[in-house]
C-alpha cells in the first residue's frame, strides 16, 4: 500500500535521523507505519511493545533487523534472570509477609482502625507504586491513599508508619537467592532501571507512548545520546493516569508529526470522534475513510457494549443474561467477583481486605460514605447494584460468563477495550453528563457544566472502537452540550 502524505513525512524524518514523536489517531495504522519505517532501514532497531501479545504480533510484521520485545523481556535478560528462583515462589497472604517484616498489630488513625492485614497490604502496594516511578528510593509519596483517610494530615500519619516497612521490603527484594517478599516482574524491571541501562541499538521505537509509566520513560529517554528515539501513540488515548501512567509525547524534544487518516471507520464516526478530541485539547483531528462507511444509529444487537465503570459492566451483563443472551466480559470477571465478595463480607458483618473497601466496618458504613462523603460518590453505583440485586445474583452473573468467541455480545469497560475494535458498538448508559453550572442561558435553562478532559479522552476511546455501526447511546448528551456542539456554543455567547 502506498504511504499517505503523513506517513511519508514520518518516513522522511525517520531516515533523516530525527528524534520523532508520532501522534497517531485511532485506526490510523501506527504499527503499519512503524513497520514501513523499519523495512526501509538497514540499521539495527528495537521495538518496545506494550505487552507480550503486541511484541509477538510486531515480530511477524517487522524485519529481522528490528528486535521486538517488551521492557520486561529486556530487563529479564539483563538482570531479572538472577531472580528466577524467587519469581516462582508460591503465593502467600500479604498479612504473613507483613508479619515477617515486623507489622504485628493494628493501628488507629483518626477514627479508623487499620488491621494488621490492611497495613501489610498497604506496605506491599507502596512497593508496587515505587516500582512504577523513576524515583531512586521509597518515600512517603509512594504510600497509597486509603478510602476514609483522604485528609492530608491523616494520610501523613499513615505514610510515616508504612514507608519504613516498605523500605525494608524493598531491601529484601534485592536479594537474588531468597527473601520474605514475593518477587514479581515489576521488581526486576525497577532494579534494571536503577542501573541506568544502555540499550545497544541504532534506533529505538516505543509504542503506546501516551501511557508510559515513569520507570519506562526514564529508561527510554536515557538512550537519547547514543540512539535515535521514535515514540508513537495518541495523547487523546491517555486514560491510565489514575494508575501512574504518563503521556510523554507532548513534551518530547524532537520532531512532532501526526497521522490523522483513520482506516478503521468512515467520515461520520470521525466527526463524532472529533467532538471529543476538541474537548480533550488533542493536537489532532481525524479524517474517516470514504470506502469504510460507518452508520450511526440505534443498535439492538451490537457486537460490543462499552461501559464507563466495572459496576456498569456487571449491570449490563446481568441485563443481557436475563434476556437470554450469551455474554462475554473483556478481561474476565475477577475484578467484579472480588468487589461482590467484598460487599458480601461487609453485609455479613465481616471486614474485607479489598483495597477499595478495606477501611469500612460494615455495609451500612459504606452506604453512608457513598451517600454523604464527596470522596465516595463513585461507590454509589456499587451500593445501588448490591442493594437492588444482592451479591449472590452478581456472583451468579459472573459465573455465567463465556469466552468471547462463543458469545453473542461482548461487554467491556473502555479501559479494557483500548486497542480493540468491533464491527458494531453501543455505548452503555453509565456515561453521565457533567452537572449543570449555576449559570443560565437566555431561556432560563441551566448551562451544562464543563466536561472534564479525562472524561473526554475516555469517551474518545469508546467512540473509536466501531468499524461499521455505532450507537452513541449513553454519550448522546454530547450533541446538546455547548462543548460538543459548536453552533450551540455560539448561540450561548451571542
Say what percent of the chain tops pLDDT 90. Answer: 67
Strands (E), 335-454: 409-413, 422-427, 436-440, 446-448
Mean pLDDT of the 241-270 span: 90
Sheet-wide strand order for 45-49: 66-70, 45-49, 203-206, 228-233, 20-24, 255-259
Whose cell is 519504613? That residue is 164
Beta bridge partners of 466: 422
Residue 490 has pLDDT above 50, yes or no: no
Mean pLDDT of the 214-236 span: 94
pTM: 0.84
Query: Would you say 264 and 421 are in contact if contact means Cβ atoms under 8 Å apart?
Result: yes
Helix (H) or strand (E) holding 239: none
Query: Which has more confidence, 484 or 269?
Result: 269
Give the closest residue to 426 by CA, choosing from 262, 300, 266, 328: 300
Mean pLDDT of the 170-182 span: 93
Q: What confidence category does residue 432 fall into, taking pLDDT thresholds of 50, 70 and 90? A: confident
Residue 411 has pLDDT above 80, yes or no: yes
Give, in order, the Cα–Cα distances in Å from 421 to each of 30, 60, 80, 264, 463. 15, 21, 34, 9, 10
The confidence score (pLDDT) of residue 158 equals 97
Give the closest residue to 194 by CA, choosing from 224, 214, 179: 214
Query: pLDDT digits over 59-115, tens only?
Result: 999 999 999 999 999 999 999 999 999 987 877 778 899 999 999 999 999 988 998
Residue 494 has pLDDT above 50, yes or no: no
Beta bridge partners of 12: none
Report how far residue 293's alpha carbon sits from residue 265's, in angstroms, rounded to the nearest whole number.
6
Query: pLDDT digits over 112-152, tens only?
Result: 899 898 999 899 999 999 999 999 999 999 999 998 898 99
Query: Would you say 72 and 156 are in contact if contact means Cβ atoms under 8 Å apart?
Result: no
Query: pLDDT digits over 38-60, tens only?
Result: 988 889 999 998 788 888 989 99
Query: Would you say 284 and 25 are in contact if contact means Cβ atoms under 8 Å apart?
Result: yes
Q: Could you tell me whether strands 409-413 and 466-471 are parallel, antiparallel, or unpaired per DSSP bridges? A: unpaired
Report how far residue 122's alpha carbon sits from residue 130's, in angstroms, rounded to the nearest whole number.
12
Amino acid at each position: 500500500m502506498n504511504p499517505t502524505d503523513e506517513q511519508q513525512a514520518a518516513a522522511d524524518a525517520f531516515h533523516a535521523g530525527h528524534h520523532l514523536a508520532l501522534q497517531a489517531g485511532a485506526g490510523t495504522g501506527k504499527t503499519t507505519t512503524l513497520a514501513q519505517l523499519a523495512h526501509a532501514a538497514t540499521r539495527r532497531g528495537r521495538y518496545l511493545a506494550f505487552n507480550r501479545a503486541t511484541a509477538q504480533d510486531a515480530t511477524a510484521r517487522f524485519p529481522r533487523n528490528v528486535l521486538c520485545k517488551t521492557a520486561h523481556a529486556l530487563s529479564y535478560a539483563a538482570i531479572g534472570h538472577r531472580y528466577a528462583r524467587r519469581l516462582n515462589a508460591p503465593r502467600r497472604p500479604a498479612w504473613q509477609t507483613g508479619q515477617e517484616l515486623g507489622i504485628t498489630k493494628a493501628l488507629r488513625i483518626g477514627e479508623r482502625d487499620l488491621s494488621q492485614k490492611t497495613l501489610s497490604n498497604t506496605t506491599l502496594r507502596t512497593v508496587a507504586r515505587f516500582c512504577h516511578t523513576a524515583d531512586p528510593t521509597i518515600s512517603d509519596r509512594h504510600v497509597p491513599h486509603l478510602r476514609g483517610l483522604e485528609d492530608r494530615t491523616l494520610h501523613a500519619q499513615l505514610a510515616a508508619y508504612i514507608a519504613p516497612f516498605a523500605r525494608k521490603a524493598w531491601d529484601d527484594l534485592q536479594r537474588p537467592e531468597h527473601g520474605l517478599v514475593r518477587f514479581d516482574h515489576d521488581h526486576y524491571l525497577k532494579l534494571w532501571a536503577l542501573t541506568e541501562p544502555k540499550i545497544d541499538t541504532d534506533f529505538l521505537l516505543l509504542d503506546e507512548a501516551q501511557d508510559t509509566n515513569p520507570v519506562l520513560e526514564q529508561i527510554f529517554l536515557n538512550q537519547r545520546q547514543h540512539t535515535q528515539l521514535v515514540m508513537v501513540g495518541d495523547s487523546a488515548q491517555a486514560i491510565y493516569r489514575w494508575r501512574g501512567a504518563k503521556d510523554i509525547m507532548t513534551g518530547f524534544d524532537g520532531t512532532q508529526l501526526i497521522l490523522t487518516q483513520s482506516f478503521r471507520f468512515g467520515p461520520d464516526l470521525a466527526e463524532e470522534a472529533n467532538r471529543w478530541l476538541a474537548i480533550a485539547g488533542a493536537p489532532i483531528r481525524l479524517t474517516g475513510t470514504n470506502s469504510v462507511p460507518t452508520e450511526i444509529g440505534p443498535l439492538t444487537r451490537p457486537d460490543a457494549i462499552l461501559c464507563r465503570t466495572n459496576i456498569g459492566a456487571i449491570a449490563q451483563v446481568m441485563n443481557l443474561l436475563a434476556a437470554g443472551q450469551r455474554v462475554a466480559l473483556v478481561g474476565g470477571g475477577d475484578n467484579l467477583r472480588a468487589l461482590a465478595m467484598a460487599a458480601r463480607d461487609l453485609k455479613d458483618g465481616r471486614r474485607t481486605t479489598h483495597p477499595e473497601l478495606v477501611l469500612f466496618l460494615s455495609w451500612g458504613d459504606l452506604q453512608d460514605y457513598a451517600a454523604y462523603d464527596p470522596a465516595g460518590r463513585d461507590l454509589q453505583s456499587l451500593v445501588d447494584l448490591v442493594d437492588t440485586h444482592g451479591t449472590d445474583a452478581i456472583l451468579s452473573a459472573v459465573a455465567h460468563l463465556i469466552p468471547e468467541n462463543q458469545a453473542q455480545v461482548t461487554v467491556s469497560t473502555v479501559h479494557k477495550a483500548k486497542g480493540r475494535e468491533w464491527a458494531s458498538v453501543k455505548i452503555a448508559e453509565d456515561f453521565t453528563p457533567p452537572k449543570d453550572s449555576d449559570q443560565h442561558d437566555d431561556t432560563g435553562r441551566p448551562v451544562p457544566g464543563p466536561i472534564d478532559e479525562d472524561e473526554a479522552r475516555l469517551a474518545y476511546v469508546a467512540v473509536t472502537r466501531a468499524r461499521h455501526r455505532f450507537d452513541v447511546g449513553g454519550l448522546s448528551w454530547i450533541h446538546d452540550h455547548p462543548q460538543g456542539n459548536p453552533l450551540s456554543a455560539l448561540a450561548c455567547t451571542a
